[in-house]
Amino acid sequence: MTNPLLQPFDGTFGLPPFAAIDDTHFGPAFDEALSRARAAIAAIAEGPGADFAEVIEAMELAEGDLDRVAGVFYNLAGADSNEAREALQRDLAPIMSAFSSEVTNNKALFGKIDALWQGRAGLGLSAEQLRVLELYRRMFVRSGAALVGTAAERLTAVKARLAVLGTQFSQNLLAEERSWFMELAEADLEGLPGFVVDTARAAGAERGLGPVVTLNRSLIVPFLQFSPRRALRQKAYEAWVARGANGGATDNRSIAAETLALRAERAALLGYADFAAFKLEPEMAKTPAAVRDLLMRVWAPAVATANADATVLEAMLRADGIKGPLEAWDWRYYSEKRRRAEHDLDEAALKPYLSLDAMLGAMFDCAGRLFGLEFREIDGPFYHADVRGWEVSRKGAHLAVFLGDYFARGSKRSGAWCSAMRGQRKLGGEVRPIVVNVCNFARGAPCLLSYDDARTLFHEFGHALHQMLSDVTYGFISGTSVARDFVELPSQLYEHWLEVPAVLEAHARHHETGAPMPADMLARLLAAATYDQGFATVEFVASALVDLEFHSGAPSADPMQKQAEVLEALGMPRAIRMRHATPHFAHVFSGDGYSSGYYSYMWSEVMDADAFAAFEETGDPFDPGVAARLERFILSAGGSEEAEALYLKFRGRMPGVEALLKGRGLLDAA
C-alpha cells in the first residue's frame, strides 16, 4: 500500500491527510525519508558543486521528505501520544541524533561550507544569504565538525545518549501526570466554585469515577485557590510538585544527573569551560554572568515583595485558627482570599466573561487590527477531534493554516506550546506555514478560562504570529528560528493586548447573556494586573537560577542537593517553591532547548515591556506605523539578522530592566 506520509500533501492548503495516516505508517516513512536525506546529503558532499546554490541551497531542500514526516509525527507525539507513538519516539531518539551527527561530521560537506565562508567576500551574496551561510557554519562547528578521531566519536555518542534521556524524561513525566488523581467526596466539593466542581466531575467521568483532582494545571491550581480543606490541598500540592520524583521506573532524578554530566562533557569536548558558556554564546545574553546579573537585579525586589506578602497571608492563616507556618499549599488559597478582599475580584465571577470562544475572538480581532489578518474556520479532519483549524489570509492572499488544540487530555503532555508542522520559505517555490497552538485548558461546556489561561492563549498565539508572518527565502531562518532569549518577545508582547481595555470591553462577554463585563469588574481586573507578582517572580527566577547553576562549573552528581543549595543561598521564601522542580523541569531536561536558557522568558520580558511602550507612546495600542515596524523587523524577519540588530531597527535603542520591574509592579521595591 502507498504510504501517505511519503507522498506530497496535495490536499487543501497542503494539510497532512490525517484521516489516511495510521501509526504503522510512521516507522517505514522515517526509514525511507532518512534514506532519501542521506542520499541527497551525500550527493552535495561528494559532488563537484561548490557554490552557494549547490551547497547551502541544496542542503535547505535535501531533507524535505524527512521534514514532512517529522513535522507530523513529533506534533502528534507531544499532543496526542499513545503506546505505539511513545515506543517509536524512543526508538527514533538515537537514530535521529545519529543522523544529525552523521551530517555535521561529514568532513567533505563541512569543507565546502567552510570554504564558502572563508571566501564569502567575493561571492556576491545578499545579506540574507550571508546570514544563512554564517549560521550553517556555526551550526556545524558547534556540532563538532572540527573535531577528529576519538573526540568526534565520543561527541556523537554523547549527543545520542542525551537524545534518549530527553525522550525518557518527557515520557516519564507524562506517565506520572496521566496516572495520578485524587478522588473527592461530595463534602470535599464544599467551597469550590461551580467551574471547579464541573471540571472535577468531567475529569472523574473520563475515568468512570466521581469528581477527581488531577495534575492538570487548569484543575489543580483553582483547587488550590479555592478549597478550604487544607489536608486535601496539601495532598494535591505534594503530588503536583513530586512529579518525576516518586521512585520506580518513571523517576527522573537519575536522568537529570546523567544529563548534566553529559552536557558538561559535550561542552568540554568543544573547548568550553562549561555547558552554560557553550549554550549562551549564540544568544543575546552571550555569557552566564550577563544572565546572572539580570536575574539577581530582579530577585532582590521580588523576594522583598514576596516576603511582605507572606506576612499578610500568614496573618490570615492565623485568623483561621491554624498555628503552623504558612506552607506552599496555603499560598494560593489565602492569596485568592486576599485578592477578593483587596480588589473585590472573584475569579469565579470573572470566568463567565472569559469563554474560550470569546477570547479566540479577541485574539483574532487584535491580529486583524494590527496586521490586517483574517481568520476563516475550516473543517478537518485534523489529528484529533478536539482540534480546530483556521485559514489565515490578508487581502485575499493565503498566509497560513492555524490549528488550535486547547483541551487537556491524558494523551497530551502538560503545558502550552507552539509548533509548526510546516515552516515558511520561498526557496524552491513559496511554502506557507501550518502552525499549531497546544494548551491544556480544562474542558467545559463552554470552556471558561481564568485570566491566566487567557494570557496563555494570547502568549502562544504571539509565537504563532512569528511563524505565520514569516517572510524569508530560507527555511533555516524562518519564523521562530531565532536566539532563544529573543524567541519569547513576540509571545510575551502579544499578551499586552489582553490588557487593553477596549479589547476586553468588546470581547469579554458573559457566555450565557452576551452582556459585556461590567465596567467596575473590568477596572478591578486591570488594577489587579500586578497582584501577587512577588510570588510569580520568585518562583520563576528561582527556577531560572537553578537551571543556570546546574550548567555552570562542574556538574553536580546530585541535582536535588544542588537545587537545595542554590535555593538556600538565595533565601528562598519557605512558602514558595520553584515553578519547575528538577524532576519535572521539562524545559531543561526534555531536550536542551531551554537548558541554561530558562531565563529567556525574563530576558525577552525586558524587551516586550519596552516594545509595547512604543505603542503606548503614540496613544494608540493599534498604531499602524508601530505595527508595521513590528511586523517588518521582528515578526517577518525570522533569524535574518542578529536579534539585537532587529530590535534596534524596531525600537531605535535597547531597553533597561526598569521596564520589566515597572510592568511587574516591583519598581518601588527595587
Which CATH number do you get for residue 500?
1.10.1370.40
Angle of the 488-495 helix axis to the 451-468 helix axis, nearest 10: 130
Could you tell me if 457 and 362 lie in one domain? yes
Does the CA dihedral 84-86-87-89 come out positive or negative? positive
545 and 303 in contact (C-beta within 8 Å)?
no
Query: Closest by alpha carbon to 234, among 336, 338, 332, 306?
Result: 332
Torsion of the alpha carbons at 312, 318, 319 and 321, rounded to the nearest 10: 160
Could you tell me if 8 and 112 lie in one domain? yes
Q: Distance of CA 144 to CAs 140, 158, 269, 663, Å?
A: 6, 11, 8, 42
407 and 391 in contact (C-beta within 8 Å)?
no
Could you tell me if 459 and 515 lie in one domain? yes
For residue 279, which phi and psi values (nearest 5 degrees)?
A: -70, -35
Rounded Cα–Cα distance for residues 128 and 641 (Å): 8
Rounded Cα–Cα distance for residues 123 and 117 (Å): 9
Q: Residue 402: CB partners within 8 Å, gap ≥ 6?
A: 375, 389, 390, 391, 392, 435, 436, 437, 464, 468
The answer as to whether 651 is a domain residue is: yes
Could you tell me if 199 and 141 lie in one domain? no
Domain boundary among 146, 166, 189: 146
Could you tell me if 377 and 522 lie in one domain? yes
Question: What percent of the chain has pLDDT above 90?
Answer: 95
Give the pairing of strands 374-378 and 212-214.
unpaired
The answer as to whether 588 is a domain residue is: no
Q: Residue 174: CB partners within 8 Å, gap ≥ 6?
A: 81, 413, 414
Record the cell numbers describing residue 482, joined without a space.
531565532
Q: If pLDDT is split at 50, 70 and 90, which confidence band does 501 have?
A: very high
Angle of the 643-651 helix axis to the 600-616 helix axis, nearest 10: 20
Could you tell me if 194 and 92 lie in one domain? no
Q: What is residue 667's three-state secondary structure?
A: helix
Predicted confidence (pLDDT) per residue in 21-43, tens digit: 999 999 999 999 999 999 999 99
Q: If pLDDT is split at 50, 70 and 90, which confidence band does 444 have?
A: confident
The answer as to whether 560 is a domain residue is: no
Q: Residue 317: CB partners within 8 Å, gap ≥ 6?
A: 326, 330, 334
Say which residue the cell 506578602 belongs to: 309
Predicted confidence (pLDDT) per residue in 459-480, tens digit: 999 999 999 999 999 999 999 9
Q: What is the pLDDT of residue 346?
A: 87
- List the domain range (segments joined by +) for residue 134: 4-146
Rounded Cα–Cα distance for residues 373 and 601 (Å): 26
Rounded Cα–Cα distance for residues 544 and 426 (Å): 37
Rounded Cα–Cα distance for residues 600 and 205 (Å): 39
Rounded Cα–Cα distance for residues 360 and 346 (Å): 22
Domain boundary among 243, 267, 296: 243
Rounded Cα–Cα distance for residues 414 and 215 (Å): 9
- Cα 654 to the chain's mean position, in Å? 24
Q: Does 670 or 484 have the greater pLDDT score? A: 484
The answer as to whether 163 is a domain residue is: no
Q: Distance of CA 201 to CAs 171, 197, 209, 327, 395, Å?
A: 27, 6, 8, 27, 45
The answer as to whether 169 is a domain residue is: no
Query: Closest by alpha carbon to 484, among 611, 639, 364?
Result: 639
Q: Is the pLDDT of residue 157 over 90?
A: yes
Predicted confidence (pLDDT) per residue in 254-286, tens digit: 999 999 999 999 999 999 999 999 999 999 999
Lowest mean pLDDT among 101-110, 406-415, 421-430, 477-486: 406-415
Rounded Cα–Cα distance for residues 517 and 362 (Å): 14
CB atoms closer than 10 angstroms to residue 376:
9
Q: What is the pLDDT of residue 403?
A: 98
Rounded Cα–Cα distance for residues 632 and 537 (Å): 32
Half-sphere exposure of 508 (CA within 13 A, CB side): 26
Residue 590 one-letter amino acid? S
Rounded Cα–Cα distance for residues 535 and 579 (Å): 10
Could you tell me if 185 and 41 lie in one domain? no
User: Which residues are 378's β-sheet partners?
Assistant: 389
Please tell me which residue in 265, 314, 460, 549 is annotated as part of the active site. 460
Rounded Cα–Cα distance for residues 47 and 227 (Å): 68
Q: Is 153 a catalytic residue?
A: no
**Please, what is the end-to-end C-alpha distance for the chain in angstroms?**
66
Say which residue the cell 497542503 belongs to: 14
The number of folded domains in the chain is 3
Q: What is residue 437's three-state secondary structure?
A: strand
- Cα 246 to the chain's mean position, in Å? 25
Record the cell numbers describing residue 215, joined without a space.
495534575
Could you tell me if 445 and 523 lie in one domain? yes
DSSP 242-287: TTT-SSGGG--HHHHHHHHHHHHHHHHHTT-SSHHHHHHTTSSS-S
Domain boundary among 202, 218, 243: 243
On average, the pLDDT of the chain sits at 96
Could you tell me if 234 and 368 lie in one domain? no
Q: If pLDDT is split at 50, 70 and 90, which confidence band does 669 have?
A: confident
What CATH number does residue 136 fall under?
1.20.1050.40
Rounded Cα–Cα distance for residues 557 and 260 (Å): 8
Give the pairing of strands 181-183 and 212-214.
antiparallel
Predicted confidence (pLDDT) per residue in 620-643, tens digit: 999 999 999 999 999 999 999 999
Residue 307 one-letter amino acid? N
Give the pairing of strands 388-394 and 374-378.
antiparallel
Could you tell me if 224 and 84 lie in one domain? no
Residue 643 one-letter amino acid? A
Say which residue the cell 495516516 belongs to: 21
Rounded Cα–Cα distance for residues 199 and 578 (Å): 26
The answer as to whether 316 is a domain residue is: no
Q: Is the pLDDT of residue 152 over 80?
A: yes
Q: Is the pLDDT of residue 391 over 70?
A: yes
Predicted confidence (pLDDT) per residue in 325-337, tens digit: 999 999 999 999 9
464 and 402 in contact (C-beta within 8 Å)?
yes
Record the cell numbers describing residue 232, joined without a space.
486535601
Could you tell me if 139 and 184 lie in one domain? no
Q: If pLDDT is split at 50, 70 and 90, which confidence band does 1 have?
A: low
Q: Is the pLDDT of residue 248 over 70?
A: yes
The structure's pTM equals: 0.94
Establish whether the linkage from the previous residue to 193 is cis, with ω within 30° of 0.
no
Could you tell me if 135 and 189 lie in one domain? no
What DSSP state is assigned to residue 631? Answer: I
Rounded Cα–Cα distance for residues 49 and 53 (Å): 9
Query: Closest by alpha carbon to 81, among 380, 383, 381?
Result: 383
The answer as to whether 584 is a domain residue is: no
Predicted confidence (pLDDT) per residue in 511-561, tens digit: 999 999 999 999 999 999 899 999 999 999 999 999 999 999 999 999 999
The answer as to whether 576 is a domain residue is: no
